[in-house]
Chain A
Amino acid sequence: MKPARRPVFIRLTPAGMGTSSNIAWPGDFALSVSTQATSSLQTPADRESTEAGIFELRRLSGLTWEELARLFEVSRRSVHFWASGKPMNSTNEERLGRLVAAIRKIDRGSGVATRAALLGASRTGQIPFDLLASGQYDRVLDLVGAGVAMERRVARTPLSAEAQQARAPRPPEELVAALQDSIHVERGRLLSSKPIRKSRKK
């Protein structure tokens, strides 16, 4: 009898926080490989890495929620829940790690450009997106070529806390129950009045 195969668990962690067993990737996150059996053991840190991975994949690839769902062969709602912190199973976690790594390699510097490269037909007639969905990451790199955008972010001076506060929208609970009744004290004393139409001569 064959021993049960333990799934490979690939975790995205902020760069610099990993252990020596991490595979270093350029960018914000590193891939770490372990043999955790199931995702039910996920901690808040694991959730954070799942969210971060989904958001990075979305930002770099420019793919829509719907297209991301097709990459994982799940519903759009599942991707929304992962982005909101719902744990992934280990298979999807592994796929996420590999997808992020692949997209980082072909990153065109903007989501729009990378998405266009993924969805455009190649010389061979193949669509890189389809290859990505079927896990042929090396073929995607061959077809699309390496990206050139590693250091494209322009540092921005953050707004002051006061300026951020001034620009913040009204909090949700204040907007979902607007009161429309009149509450003011009407002085209303008449000071003068005058007809707005001249009386018609008969």
Chain B
Amino acid sequence: MKEIDAALEKWRQGDVALDEQWFAHVGDPRMPLTAAAAESDGDGPQAIIAEVAGLVIVSQSCDVVRSSADRCFVEVCPLVEVPEEDLHQIRRARRPRYAFVPATAHLRLVADLDRVMTVEKSIVAGWNRTSGCSTDEQARAFAAALARKRQRLAFPDDFTLLARKLQERLTEKHGKDSDEGRALRALREIRVRAAPSWDAGKVDILFFFIREDDTRDFEGKGWDVHLDRWLKLVPASGRFGTVDGVVIPLDQMTAREYVESDPLDLDHLSMSL
């Protein structure tokens, strides 16, 4: 066991094993949903081992290096190949199913977070390790992608409908060379607070448009002009009795407001409702 722990000492979340091109899952050849399941034989569920491009560690680094007496498993995801043009979208977190792995970007390999496999540490101890992330920023981005995959709030359908025009506006105007485009690019984050709760019969909505501290106005136009424009896209309706918003620098937001609100994280319009 000491040898296993010693072998795992250097492994971190995001590290990859490019030589390990296999991945196990359970499928049924009678109702195959994957090529591997279709290829397999048998009458009933099968433990299927299929070829992948490699494996990436998704367990927390502290669990990986913790003694195998306490923690004997490691979770891994398969590395899959994506088209070059989509790689930057994954890097920018536009595709929550995948996580960008800096060390395999040149191979166009990313982590497929839809699939997770558990292996015993004794197996990992025999793998060739390639460091996945070389900086704290890269490691944080990888961890954030893992967290987002599991943590995204499923906003109620009626809120998704309410926010649709605002979402459309944000997507349309963000890249534009206009005062609104610049204003949108100067936003650090958009959060939304639902009181008393998302599932209440009557809900007060408050949008926090959190701006960078050094952006006060655009070509003489104050943030209030943009706020007015954005709030007109989300008129109070249905359960949402009031819909308000404020443009606020991060330093002026209270910790309570931050923890009582959720990041506005929505699926692309074509995916929602």
Q: How far is the CA of A177 from the CA of B172 in the complex (A)?
A: 11
> Is the CB–CB distance between B80 and A184 below 8 Å?
yes
Interface membership of A70, Cβ < 8 A: no
B125 at the interface (CB under 8 A from A): no
Q: How far is the CA of A193 from the CA of B48 in the complex (A)?
A: 4
Check A126 for interface membership: any CB of B closer than 8 A: no
B189 within 8 A of A: yes
The distance from the CB of A199 to the nearest CB of chain B, in whole angstroms, is 9
Report yes or no: B268 in contact with A80, Cβ–Cβ below 8 A: no
Size class of the B contact interface (CB-based, 8 Å): 35 or more
Q: Known: A81-B224, A187-B53, A194-B46. Contact between A177 and B269, CB under 8 A?
A: yes
- A189 nearest CB neighbor, chain B only: B51
Q: How far is the CB of A69 from chain B (nearest CB, A)?
A: 11
- The residue that A185 contacts in the complex, of B82, B97, B249, with Cβ under 8 A, is B82
* CB of A29, distance to nearest CB on chain B (Å): 14
**Cβ proximity bits A153-178 to B, threshold 8 Å, 1 near / 0 not:** 00000000011011111111111111
Contact mask for chain B residues 167-193; partner A; CB cutoff 8 A; 1 contact, 0 none: 100110010000000001101111000
The 4 closest A-B pairs by CB, nearest first: A85-B222, A86-B224, A193-B40, A184-B80
Stretch in B4-12, B31-39, B67-75 touching the partner? B31-39
Residue B146 lies at the interface, judged by CB distance under 8 Å to chain A: no
- Interface residues of A, count at CB 8 A: 53
Complex CA–CA separation, A113 to B41 (angstroms)? 71
CB pair A76–B266 under 8 Å, yes or no, is no
B42 at the interface (CB under 8 A from A): yes
Does B15 count as interface, using CB distance less than 8 angstroms?
A: no
Question: Separation in Å of the B99 CB from the closest CB of chain A?
Answer: 12
How does the 8 Å CB contact mask read for A125-163 relative to B, with 1 for contact and 0 for none? Answer: 000000000000000000000000000000000000011
Overall SS of chain A's interface:
mixed
Contact with A along B182-218 (1 / 0, CB 8 A): 0011011110000000000000000001000000110
Shortest Cβ distance from residue A185 to the other chain B in the assembled complex, whole angstroms: 5
Contact check, A47 vs B45: say whether CB atoms are below 8 A apart.
Answer: no
Q: Is A183 engaged at the interface, CB distance under 8 Å to the other chain?
A: yes
Contact A172 B246 (CB under 8 A): no
A44 at the interface (CB under 8 A from B): yes
B158 at interface, CB cutoff 8 A: no
Q: How many A-B residue pairs have CB under 8 A?
A: 196
Given A47-B217, A180-B271, A190-B39, check contact A173 B184 (CB 8 Å): yes
- Are B89 and A179 touching (Cβ within 8 A)? yes
Interface membership of B223, Cβ < 8 A = yes
Contact B136–A166 (Cβ < 8 Å): yes
Q: Tell which of A58, A162, A176, A194 touches B137, judged by Cβ atoms closer than 8 Å.
A: A162
Query: Does B126 count as interface, using CB distance less than 8 angstroms?
Result: no
Q: Annotate A66-102 by CB proximity to B: 1 below 8 A, 0 otherwise.
A: 0000000000110011111111000000000000000
What's the nearest-Cβ distance from chain A to residue B250, in Å?
A: 10
Inter-chain CA distance A111–B257, complex, in Å, is 14
B265: shortest Cβ distance to chain A, in Å? 4
Shortest Cβ distance from A42 into B: residue: B222
Check A84–B222 contact: CB distance below 8 A: yes
16 A-B contact pairs sorted by A residue (CB < 8 Å): A44-B222, A77-B244, A80-B246, A83-B246, A84-B223, A85-B247, A166-B136, A173-B170, A174-B92, A180-B97, A180-B267, A187-B53, A190-B49, A191-B49, A194-B46, A195-B44
Which residues between 15 and 50 of chain A lie within 8 Å of chain B, taking CB atoms? 44, 47-48
Bound CA–CA A86/B96 (angstroms): 37
In the complex, what distance in Å separates the CA atom of A169 from the CA atom of B188? 7
Supposing A59-B252, A188-B34 touch, asked if A178 and B267 sit within 8 A by C-beta, the answer is yes
Contact call B189/A172, Cβ cutoff below 8 A: yes
- Would A174 and B216 count as touching, CB distance under 8 A? no
> In the complex the two chains form, is B137's CB within 8 Å of A190's CB?
no
Closest to B86 in A: A183
Q: Give every chain A residue within 8 A of B83 (Cβ-Cβ).
A: 183
Type the 1/0 row for B212-233, where 1 means its CB is closer than 8 Å to any CB of A. 0000110010111001100000
* Min CB gap A129→B, angstroms: 19
B129 within 8 A of A: no
